[in-house]
């Protein structure tokens, strides 16, 4: 149910959960001051309690009360705000409730690039928000997607279709380096250009992943996805499937769900969750995925999301 900006602010201030638009994906928001509402986010999503949430702010000065230390490189990284970048800081434990951090001593923060949500945060103060989807499912990039997961009566601030279509990149700044915790709307290459030192990317999940969300099932439609490395593999496996998730030039006899032009990643990511959700709307059981694209720049983000969606982990 679409609500006005004023109504969204009032609901949030009274301890309700409201879906909000960002440039990446829709978020399921609660006020940082409303712990009961924050708890409710976990139960609405079916989100594991040990997966912490991102705090959304409207300006850099709001960071002060949330963090206990601002690592070097921060100024360079923050030049990418507002935008699809989340930075993990040592938390000010007093001002960021345990439930937001899932018991960690760090807090993830970002300034989203969406005029409505920036206005909203100025009215309400910091908003805690994970992506507005049921845990494990493809993220929501439109009001329709939010309503698919949480019902027609769920309050949503309508900001149109999400412009990027994929979540923020999550990084952690260290003394003289930085780590990539989750691929996202800014590529590793772009971050290296702006921040400077090359990242120490976490490719394998260690026993205690630094970004707890990485260990859970993610972005998965109900249907089974079979990743195909080449056009030949698609042709070989056509008899196993009822559709293909690919690009405008993918050759197939099956119905094609197109992510737009091959290797035009901004377009491909914009179309990604919309198409993953379409596969379930059409009740397809098995779908082939055309993975024959460059894995550099935002192609790495596209590959990451498709691999996770297919692996169901
Ligand atoms: O674009 C986005 O980031 C969207 C919009 C709504 O802002 N939000 C989003 O939130 O994708 P969520 O909850 O779906 O993903 C947040 C990721 C999870 O992988 C979580 O584990 C990680 O950020 N994270 C949150 N707090 C963290 C922390 N203190 N340390 C390490 N990772 C953290
Ligand atoms: Mg999510």
CB of residue 210 inside a 6 A radius of ligand 1: yes
217 CA to middle of ligand 2, Å? 10
Site to probe by mutation for ligand 1, drawn from 18, 46, 54 as the one with most ligand atoms within 8 Å of Cβ, is 54
Range in 87-96, 205-214, 237-246, 276-285 with the lowest mean pLDDT: 205-214
| H or E element at residue 246 | strand 243-246
Q: Does the pLDDT of residue 215 top 50, yes or no?
A: yes
pLDDT tens track for 77-100: 999 999 999 999 999 999 999 999
Average pLDDT, stretch 230-256? 97
Distance CA 256, CA 275 (A): 10
Walk across the sheet containing 106-110 and list its strands.
2-3, 156-157, 18-20, 27-31, 127-128, 54-56, 106-110, 85-90, 169-173, 178-182, 200-201
239 CA to middle of ligand 2, Å? 33
User: Pick from 168, 278, 145: which is nearest to 222 by CA?
Assistant: 278
CB of residue 171 inside a 6 A radius of ligand 1: no
pLDDT tens track for 12-34: 999 999 999 999 999 999 999 99
CB of residue 51 inside a 6 A radius of ligand 1: yes
| H or E element at residue 86 | strand 85-90
Q: Does the pLDDT of residue 58 top 50, yes or no?
A: yes
Q: What does the pLDDT read at residue 208?
A: 44
Q: Give the rounded percent of residues in the chain with a pLDDT score beyond 70.
A: 94
Q: Chain-wide mean pLDDT for the chain?
A: 94
Confidence of residue 204 (pLDDT cuts 50, 70, 90): very low
> Cβ of 264: how many Cβ atoms within 10 Å?
16
Global pTM value? 0.95
Q: Does the pLDDT of residue 140 top 50, yes or no?
A: yes
pLDDT higher at 205 or 224: 224
105 CA to middle of ligand 1, Å? 15
Report the DSSP beta bridge partners of residue 108.
54, 88
Per the omega criterion (within 30 degrees of 0), is the bond before 202 cis? no
Q: Does the pLDDT of residue 203 top 90, yes or no?
A: no
CB of residue 246 inside a 6 A radius of ligand 1: no
253 CA to middle of ligand 1, Å? 39
- Residue 53's φ and ψ, nearest 5 degrees, are -110, 155
């Amino acid at each position: 149910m679409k609500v006005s900006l004023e109504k969204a602010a009032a609901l949030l201030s009274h301890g309700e959960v409201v879906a909000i638009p960002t440039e990446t994906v829709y978020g399921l928001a609660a006020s940082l001051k409303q712990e009961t509402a924050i708890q409710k986010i976990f139960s609405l999503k079916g989100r594991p309690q040990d997966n912490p949430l991102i705090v959304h702010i409207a300006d850099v000065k709001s960071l002060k009360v949330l963090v206990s230390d601002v690592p070097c490189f921060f100024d360079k990284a923050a030049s990418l705000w507002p935008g699809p970048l989340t930075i993990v800081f040592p938390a000010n434990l007093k001002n960021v409730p345990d439930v937001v951090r899932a018991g960690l001593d760090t807090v993830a923060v970002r300034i989203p690039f969406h005029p409505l949500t920036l206005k909203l945060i100025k009215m309400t103060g910091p908003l805690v928000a994970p992506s507005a989807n049921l845990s494990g499912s493809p993220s929501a990039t439109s009001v329709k997607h939010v309503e698919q997961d949480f019902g027609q009566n769920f309050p949503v601030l309508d900001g149109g279709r999400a412009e990027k279509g994929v979540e923020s990149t999550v990084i952690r700044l260290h003394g003289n380096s930085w780590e990539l915790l989750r691929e996202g709307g800014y590529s590793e290459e772009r971050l290296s250009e702006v921040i400077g030192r090359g990242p120490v990317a976490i490719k394998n999940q260690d026993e205690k992943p630094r970004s707890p969300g990485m260990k859970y099932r993610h972005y998965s439609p109900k249907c089974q996805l079979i990743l195909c490395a080449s056009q030949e593999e698609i042709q070989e496996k056509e008899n196993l499937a009822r559709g293909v998730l690919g690009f405008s030039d993918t050759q197939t006899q099956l119905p094609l769900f197109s992510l737009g032009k091959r290797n035009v990643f901004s377009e491909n990511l914009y179309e990604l969750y919309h198409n993953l959700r379409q596969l379930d709307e059409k009740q397809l059981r098995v779908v082939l995925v055309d993975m024959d694209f460059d894995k550099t720049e935002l192609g790495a983000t596209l590959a990451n999301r498709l691999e996770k969606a297919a692996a169901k982990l």
